[in-house]
Amino acid sequence: MKNAVFVFSPDQLSYKFSESHPFNHKRLLLTMDLLKSIDALSDDDIIPARVATEEEIELVHDPKYIEMVKKAGHGLVTPEQAEPYGLGTEDTPIFPNMHEASSLLVGSTLQAVDYVMEGKSRHALNLGGGLHHGFRGRASGFCIYNDSSIAIRYIQEKYHARVLYVDTDAHHGDGVQWTFYDDPSVCTLSIHETGRYLFPGTGNISERGNGQGYGTSFNFPLEAFTEDDSFLMVYEQALREVIEYFKPDVLFTQNGADAHYFDPLTHLNASIKIYREIPKLAHQLAHEYCEGRWIAVGGGGYDIWRVVPRAWSMIWLEMTDQPVPTGKLPEEWLNKWQQEAPVPLIPTWEDPNPLFEPIPRKAEIEEKNSQMLTKALSIIRTEKNRHF
């Protein structure tokens, strides 16, 4: 059995709204190039993406919506027809062959799933996936088809396994949460900036699931301007307690890299340090609870030059038990990409210190996050106390 596979096909870059849109899968190239330039990724590690079938997409999405996406991508709908489906907005503009491009991203995640669930590989990474805002009948927040929701349904139907979905994107993983809100065999855990200002606005601690699924949805909304220590404290305690409580067969992580201070779309103040730590704990717990079964996807991440390549490289390095380098990034990588980058690249694996001016209310922000954590985990802690 392989230790890990890396799903990639150049066609994944065809999921592209426009030159100026913040969602830009050029970050896949930047990341792979960085990994290759330190000899951490070889062609043997890479498996190609595949196109998801319509039947697979229908595991989650409404056939009418799929039809609309297809037509939109072939120039066959008016703006009025597309609007109710969330298509043709500034967030999700219509682009040529959008159905085909989106189906490929879904298939890439299914490819990762099959490698892990068939025992061909312990772990699998598809950085092209993680489009967690897609709804059953509506595009939302840059996401057309929700590859993660589809993949989890696919795991349920094909492999009958219990899935823990862990989402560390700075935006709430709403699409995946609502897909499995009533389902007790899938547990969703999302850590994100509070929705008071940030999209999508949901992800309150009181969203705990519904009916049979009550108690299998966990949300950890962080204050704006949250820094590394507070983020990691919440992540570690939340993940450890939830995984122990839910006991999944497989761990599925969404690795949006937009909680970083540089990210233009969010207000969290994390540094690259959290991206070193996030996959480390996921990896360790996947071995502890799931016999290693760990599927990781990408997600948000809108500073594609200074943040995403380093952050996402760290997932692959952790997955393959390679140490995360310190110090300078490879000279050739810096020289190659600096020519295109609109900002000076960060030349080291670490962030500059200090990264930003001190935040005035830091202590209160940490206090509030830790109070939030206690409330969000209370359901587990109460249950635990009842058994002892």
Chain residues binding other proteins by CB under 8 A are 22, 89-91, 133, 140-142, 171, 174, 195-202, 223-225, 264-265, 267, 359-361
As measured in angstroms, the least distance from the Cβ of 340 to other proteins is 21
> Residue 197 or residue 214: which is nearer to other proteins going by CB?
197
- In angstroms, the CA 324 to CA 310 distance is 10
As measured in angstroms, the least distance from the Cβ of 270 to other proteins is 15
As measured in angstroms, the least distance from the Cβ of 193 to other proteins is 9
> Residue 307 or residue 334: which is nearer to other proteins going by CB?
307
> Residue 199 or residue 231: which is nearer to other proteins going by CB?
199
Comparing CA positions, the residue from 172, 228, 180, 233 lying closest to residue 204 is 172
Comparing CA positions, the residue from 163, 376, 156, 176 lying closest to residue 286 is 163
Q: Which of 132, 133, 260, 283 is catalytic?
A: 133
Written as six digits, the tokens of 223 are 């204050």
- Distances in Å between the Cα of 379 and the Cα atoms of 80, 181, 339 are 45, 16, 52
Could you write out the three-class secondary structure of 211-246?
HHHCCCEEEEEECCCCEHHHHHHHHHHHHHHHHHHH
Phi, psi of 255 (to 5 degrees): -115, 50
Task: Give burial (CB, 10 Å; 0-12/13-18/19+) of 20.
Answer: exposed
Comparing CA positions, the residue from 280, 301, 262 lying closest to residue 130 is 301
* CB contact at 8 A, 165 and 254: yes
> Residue 114 or residue 207: which is nearer to other proteins going by CB?
207
Q: What type of residue is 198?
A: L
As measured in angstroms, the least distance from the Cβ of 362 to other proteins is 9
As measured in angstroms, the least distance from the Cβ of 361 to other proteins is 5
387 is catalytic: no
> Residue 173 or residue 292: which is nearer to other proteins going by CB?
173
* CB contact at 8 A, 231 and 202: no
The set of catalytic residues is: 133
